[in-house]
Structure 1
C-alpha cells in the first residue's frame, strides 16, 4: 500500500514528507497498473505515470529513487543524462540505459521489465535554443526525442556488449512498457522562472539570488517550487511530448540544518552509525558531540552540498585517526567536537579516562 511504502521510506529518508507521499502513491499506482494490465478484466487501459523530481543538489533525489527500488525489491539503474546522445553521435545510446537495468537484473529480462531507471541531471538535456534550427542539438532536444520512445513504452533491441550496434551482435529484446522511469535535476534557473510567474507583481531583482538557508526568503522559494507545472518545464526547454510522458511532478525542498543533523544520526545505516561500526572493529568507541553534528550540518550548507556532502566532511575529519588508529594500542575512546569538524582542533583519543594523544584533523595537517 502507499502507506507501507511511505513508512519504509521514513526509515531511510529524513525530511521531504510531501515528496515521500507523492512518490508512495505514484509507485503504488504504477505497479498496480502493471498487475492490472496483466491479470485484470478492467477495460480501461491505465497509462504509465513516470516521475520527474525537481530539487536542489543534495536534497535526496537519487537516494529516494534507490530506496524505492530497494523497498520494492526490483532491479535499479542510474544513468547521467549528460552522457546520453542521439544515435550516431559519440556518447551513450539510449539502449545502453536499458542494458544497465538488464545487468542489474542479472540478465533476467522479465525481471528487468519491471525495474526502475533513474536518469539524473535531466535538466541538462533541455533544448539549447527556443527555435529548433537546422543545426543538430546532440545533447538537448535530440536526446529528449531518443528517450521519448523508451519512456513511453516500446520493444527495444539492446546489444549485450553495450556501445554502438554491431551487425554481428545478438540483440536482447526488452519491453519498456512496465519499466518505471524517474528523472531528476536541480534545474538551475527554475526558481527565478517560477518567481517571475507566481509573483509577477512583486518580483524584483532582490529575489534572484535568494537561494540559501541564511536568507529570509527560503520559505518563499520552497513554496514557489511546489507550484511547478508542465508549462514551466516547457519554458525551461523541454519539448511538449517529453513533459507529457512525466505526469508525476515531485518537488524536493532544500534540506535544513535540523534535517541534516537528523540525516547524520537517525535513518537506518546513518553515517554516524557507519563510522561507529568501523571504530568498533578497532575496539574503540566513537562519539560525536551535539556541536560536532551541528558543525557538520553547517559546513554542508556552506558548501552547498546538502546531504551528499555530510559523509565527505566526516571522512576528512576522521581520516588521520583512521590512518593511525590500527597501529596504536590502548585506545578505547575517540571524541569528535565541533572544533575538529571546523578544523581548528584535533580529534581526541583516550584510554577511557586520561587523554593520551591528540591527532590533528586532515584539514589541520594540510593547512
Structure 2
C-alpha cells in the first residue's frame, strides 16, 4: 500500500471528484489508518479492526466514484456489490459470501497484472524464439560420423542455419516481417458448462465447471495469422506459462485480507420499515442483514483458492436513505459502521465544476469523441453555465439523479452533431448559451417531455 498522507489522498481525489470534502476526508483517514495498521507488529494487528463507513446521500453525488477512485489510487482489490441482490441463505439468489469470492477474483487480477510485468522480459524472448522456429524451421538430419564429409557438410548446414536465423531475428525485431503469415496451433475457447444456477450455489457451480473442463480434453486448431498477431497470441501463451498460479493465489488471498475494499451499495434498501419487521419483505431484508453481520464482523469464507478471513477488510456502505434511516438497520450491523458521512446534494456551481474540473470531465470526453470525425468542439463559459443550470433545474423538477443527469443532457445536446458529424463539412462548433437553449429549451419547458427525455 502506498504511503500517502490523508491530505495527499484528498488532493488526488479532488482531481476526479468535485466537492464532498467530508466524505473524502473520512475515506482518506480510513486509508491512512489501514497503512498505519500494516506497520504494526503482528500481535498488535490482531486487536485493531478497520472502522467501516456508511455514506449517506442521494444518487449521483459521488459515493461510488469516491470509493472506486480510492481503491485504484492505492492498488487495492475492490468490489462493488448491491445489497439488494443478496437473499437469505437457503433461498433462491446470491448469498452474501459471494462478494468476498468476487473480492478474491479482483485481487488475483491485480497480482496477475503485477506478475505479468515481472515475467514479460522472459516471455518476449521465448516468443521471439518460437517465431524464429516457425519462420526458419530447422530440418532434422541423421547424426553423421565424426571426421567424414557428411560431418563437415552438417557443420556447414548448421552454420548457414544459424546465420539465416540471426538475419531473420533482426528483421523480426525491426518489424519487417510483421505482415508475413505463420501457422499457429491455438487452443479453442469453450463455453463454460452450467451445472447449477440461481440457487445460491455459485461457488459449487464454478467448481463443477472447472472439474468438467479438466476432464474434457482441450480442442486445438491451426490458424494462419500474421507475425504481428502471432506475437500477441504467443506472448499471452508464454506469459501464462511462466506465471506461478499457486503463488499468485496465495498472494492474492493475503492482499484481499489486508487491503481489500468492499463497497456495499443500496444498503438502505435492506432496512426494515418498522420494529420487528412483520411483513414478508421485511423478514427477507432482516435475513440478509443477519447474513451480512458475521461477514462484516469477521468470518472465514471458503473460496476455491483457499480460505480468507474478513476481519480486516474495509467495508464502505452507501445509500440514499430517502424512506429509511441508518438507525433502521439491525443494531449489531449499525455498530459495525461507526463512521457516518453525509454527502451533499449537487448545486448549480457543483454541476459547473463537474463539467470543467475533473481530469476526465464529460466535456473533454465529447471533445475527444467528436474529434475523431474531425470536429473541433469548444464550450464557452456561458454555454457551460447554461448546461449546469438546466441539469440542476431538471433534477429539482423531476427525479434527482445527481451528476448522472449531465450525461443525459449532454447526449441530447450533441445528438445532432454526433449524427451529422461524419458527413458535415463544418469542422469547428462553439457550444454557447444560445446553442444550448435552442437544443434544450423546448424539452426542459415541457415538464412531461423532460421527465421522459431528460
Is TM > 0.5 for Structure 1 vs Structure 2? yes
Provide the C-alpha distance between the structure 1 equivalents of 2:55 and 2:339, rounded to a whole number of angstroms.
8
Q: 1:149 aligns with which of 285, 294, 317?
A: 294
TM-score (norm 2): 0.59
Q: As a proportion of its length, which structure holds more helix?
A: 2
Task: From the superposition, tell whether residues 41 and 257 of structure 1 become closer, same or farther in structure 2 (CA, over 3 Å).
Answer: same
Residues 332-360 of structure 1: CA deviation (Å, up to 9, x unaligned)? 212223354455479xxxxxxxxxxxxxx
Task: From the superposition, tell whether residues 276 and 246 of structure 1 become closer, same or farther in structure 2 (CA, over 3 Å).
Answer: same
Provide the C-alpha distance between the structure 1 equivalents of 2:73 and 2:374, rounded to a whole number of angstroms.
33
Provide the C-alpha distance between the structure 1 equivalents of 2:406 and 2:80, rounded to a whole number of angstroms.
21
Give the gaps of 5 or more residues in structure 1: 159-169, 191-231, 347-362
Give the gaps of 5 or more residues in structure 2: 110-248, 442-449
Aligned to 2:358: 267
Aligned to 1:70: 72
Counterparts of 1:1-367 in structure 2 under 5 Å? 1-36=5-40, 39=41, 42=44, 45-105=47-107, 106=109, 108-113=252-257, 114-133=259-278, 137=282, 139-158=284-303, 170=304, 172-189=306-323, 233-234=326-327, 237-301=328-392, 302-303=394-395, 304-328=400-424, 330-342=425-437, 344=439
Q: In the comparison of the two structures, how many residue pairs are matched?
A: 292
Residues 227-258 of structure 1: CA deviation (Å, up to 9, x unaligned)? xxxxx622xx1111000000111111111110
Task: From the superposition, tell whether residues 104 and 340 of structure 1 become closer, same or farther in structure 2 (CA, over 3 Å).
Answer: farther
Larger radius of gyration: 2
| SS of aligned partner of 2:414 | helix
Measure how far apart 1:34 and its partner are: 4.1
Provide the C-alpha distance between the structure 2 equivalents of 1:345 and 1:312, rounded to a whole number of angstroms.
11
Residues 27-86 of structure 1: CA deviation (Å, up to 9, x unaligned)? 2113322442xx356488222211100012211111111111111111211111111111
Residues 196-230 of structure 1: CA deviation (Å, up to 9, x unaligned)? xxxxxxxxxxxxxxxxxxxxxxxxxxxxxxxxxxx
RMSD (Å) for aligned C-alpha atoms: 2.6
Task: Report if aligned partners of 1:30, 1:49 keep a CA contact under 8 Å in 2.
Answer: no
Provide the C-alpha distance between the structure 2 equivalents of 1:336 and 1:136, rounded to a whole number of angstroms.
49
Measure how far apart 1:289 and its partner are: 2.4
Provide the C-alpha distance between the structure 1 equivalents of 2:77 and 2:44, rounded to a whole number of angstroms.
27
